[in-house]
């Protein structure tokens, strides 16, 4: 069995598989010829480009921008008022399809060349985005959105494996930062690409809301196709997945499928209280799964990667998305138009990347709790500000982004690729649970107050959002405590050498 070593072309040590006495998870084989500095830089660029293109393309299929064009869509499809909910359910099929695909795609990326899996997913995603421009009926809307979700679900784990193959802490941190940042930026980007009609103007084509930002998918296809030319001559494949790792990757599939089914069924006139019960039960099940998986050699990680993934999924898009709607609603109530200021969200995404890169300079055992503290601080600051101008959201979004990027990148230290993919499989179910929670809170508040004017409606939504921030902050504290306990338990089980070992992993410092 090969021993851990440093490549002469890399300054970072390769990632661990997460199991003792296993070969390095990212180093080339002993027979690989050494690469020069220029060749190494090209290989790093080849791994970085998919992260910068495929991740945005995949995350951008999650937001549903059709709300801004519902009247135009109903008119074009000849839908009555009773049929509009079916259209909204159809456009929401992307996220359930994505979260069901991630575990299967993670297994495929470990058994097949990751770049080929990524190219396939990007092609499927691009095909779904192109087909969205021609859908003539509600069932085909659901089919196209599901195809987009499948493509995104293939792309995300494949991009992580490609980055992991390089065994470079900076690349791993960049992947984590881009992922967390896009979860914050996705909704304003989608809504900005499909603004609501103003002053009675007609929508050019309502189908644009089904594929609001298609160009990252085309860039991802190009990046994946060019990866074999840039990665170098060395066989940068990871060691084959063992049976325990394969089982761990498929472990979240059945719970995710059950939750996705309940979430879809709950959209059929379930009460807000019933949907809240489903979301809370799903979060409890995800946390139990993460804790149980953390005790396994293949799915566990020293810094509680799976629990941090749940926190990032729960807190990023489900917090930033409703903020986007609030900004649009308050602007509409003041007759200022409904354009969403994208700059605060872009700054938060930049803070996520900066926090992730900063994690390489701090011990992971301190960076993960600090990331949680920043996220909780941002959520509490959100209670102090109201979305009346374009700058107050910074109080919430920038600490949230910085904390999410910092905690996620630091949690990947010492984690094997199987543990990282296992956590990723829990991230999107947590995202769906967060969306179900906040939408249920909004629906309950609107049903209780029954607002008449746009100003009253915006106030009701703001009250529901503040309640969601309180719930999110409390949940973040509980997840931080669970992460600390999981880390302490694993450190006790594996001995006091764990922190020193973890610092040599990708994202380590």
**420 located within any domain:** yes
Structure confidence by residue, pLDDT tens digits, 203-225: 567 888 888 888 999 998 888 88
The tokens 């959105």 sit on which residue? 145
Structure confidence by residue, pLDDT tens digits, 460-473: 888 899 999 999 99
Q: Are 412 and 420 in contact (CB under 8 A)?
A: yes
**2 located within any domain:** no
> Which pLDDT does position 186 carry in this prediction?
92
Structure confidence by residue, pLDDT tens digits, 63-92: 988 877 888 888 888 888 888 888 988 999
Round to whole Å and give the CA distance between 422 and 298.
9
- Minimum mean pLDDT among 98-107, 228-237, 392-401, 465-474: which range? 228-237
**100 located within any domain:** yes
**197 located within any domain:** yes
Number of structural domains, the chain? 1
> Which pLDDT does position 506 carry in this prediction?
52
CATH of the domain at 140: 1.20.1250.20
The yes-or-no verdict on residue 26 having pLDDT over 80 is no
Phi first, then psi: give them for residue 357, nearest 5 degrees.
-65, -35
Cα 392 to the center of its chain, rounded Å: 24
**257 located within any domain:** yes
User: What are the distances in angstroms from CA 230 to CA 47, 54, 154, 394, 495?
Assistant: 8, 17, 22, 38, 40
**19 located within any domain:** no
**8 located within any domain:** no
**30 located within any domain:** no
Q: Are 18 and 415 in contact (CB under 8 A)?
A: yes
> Which pLDDT does position 386 carry in this prediction?
62
Q: Are 170 and 357 in contact (CB under 8 A)?
A: yes
Largest separation between any pair of C-alpha atoms in the chain: 72
The yes-or-no verdict on residue 393 having pLDDT over 90 is no
* pLDDT-based confidence at residue 19 (cuts at 50, 70, 90): very low
Q: Where in the sequence is the domain holding 404, given as residue range(s)? A: 39-502
Structure confidence by residue, pLDDT tens digits, 293-323: 776 655 567 778 999 999 999 999 999 988 8
């Amino acid at each position: 069995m090969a021993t851990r070593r440093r490549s002469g072309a890399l300054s970072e040590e390769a990632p661990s598989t997460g199991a003792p006495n296993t070969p390095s998870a990212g180093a080339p084989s002993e027979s690989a010829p050494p690469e020069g500095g220029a060749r190494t830089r090209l290989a790093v660029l080849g791994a970085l480009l998919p992260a910068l293109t495929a991740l945005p393309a995949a995350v951008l299929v999650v937001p549903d921008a059709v709300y801004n064009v519902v009247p135009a869509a109903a008119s074009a499809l000849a839908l009555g008022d009773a049929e509009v909910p079916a259209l909204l359910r159809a456009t929401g099929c992307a996220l359930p399809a994505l979260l069901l695909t991630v575990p299967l795609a993670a297994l495929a990326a470990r058994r097949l060349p990751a770049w080929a899996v990524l190219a396939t997913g990007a092609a499927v995603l691009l095909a779904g985005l192109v087909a969205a421009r021609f859908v003539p009926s509600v069932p085909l809307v659901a089919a196209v959105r599901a195809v987009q979700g499948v493509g995104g679900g293939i792309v995300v784990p494949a991009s992580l494996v490609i980055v992991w193959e390089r065994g470079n802490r900076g690349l791993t941190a960049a992947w984590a930062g881009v992922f967390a940042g896009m979860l914050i930026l996705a909704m304003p980007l989608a809504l900005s690409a499909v603004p609501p009609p103003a002053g009675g103007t007609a929508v050019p084509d309502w189908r644009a809301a089904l594929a609001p930002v298609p160009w990252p998918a085309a860039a991802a296809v190009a990046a994946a196709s060019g990866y074999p030319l840039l990665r170098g001559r060395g066989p940068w494949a990871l060691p084959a997945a063992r049976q325990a790792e394969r089982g761990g990757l498929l472990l979240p599939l059945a719970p995710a499928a059950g939750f996705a089914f309940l979430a879809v069924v709950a959209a059929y006139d379930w009460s807000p209280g019933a949907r809240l019960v489903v979301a809370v039960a799903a979060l409890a099940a995800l946390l139990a799964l993460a804790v149980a998986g953390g005790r396994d050699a293949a799915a566990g990680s020293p810094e509680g990667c799976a629990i941090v993934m749940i926190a990032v999924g729960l807190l990023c898009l489900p917090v930033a998305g409703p903020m986007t709607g609030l900004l649009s609603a308050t602007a509409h109530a003041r007759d200022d138009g409904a354009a969403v200021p994208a700059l605060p969200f872009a700054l938060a995404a930049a803070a996520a990347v900066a926090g992730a890169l900063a994690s390489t300079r701090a011990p992971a055992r301190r960076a993960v709790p600090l990331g949680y503290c920043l996220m909780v601080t941002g959520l509490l600051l959100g209670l102090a500000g109201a979305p009346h101008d374009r700058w107050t959201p910074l109080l919430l979004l920038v600490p949230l982004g910085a904390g999410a990027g910092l905690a996620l990148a630091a949690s990947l230290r010492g984690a094997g690729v199987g543990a990282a993919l296992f956590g990723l499989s829990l991230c999107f179910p947590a995202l769906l649970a967060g969306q179900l929670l906040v939408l249920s809170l909004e629906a309950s508040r609107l049903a209780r107050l029954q607002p008449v004017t746009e100003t009253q409606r915006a106030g009701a939504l703001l009250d529901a959002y503040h309640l969601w921030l309180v719930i999110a902050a409390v949940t973040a504290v509980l997840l931080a405590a669970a992460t600390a306990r999981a880390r302490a338990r694993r450190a006790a089980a594996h001995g006091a050498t764990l922190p020193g070992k973890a610092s040599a992993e990708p994202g380590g410092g």
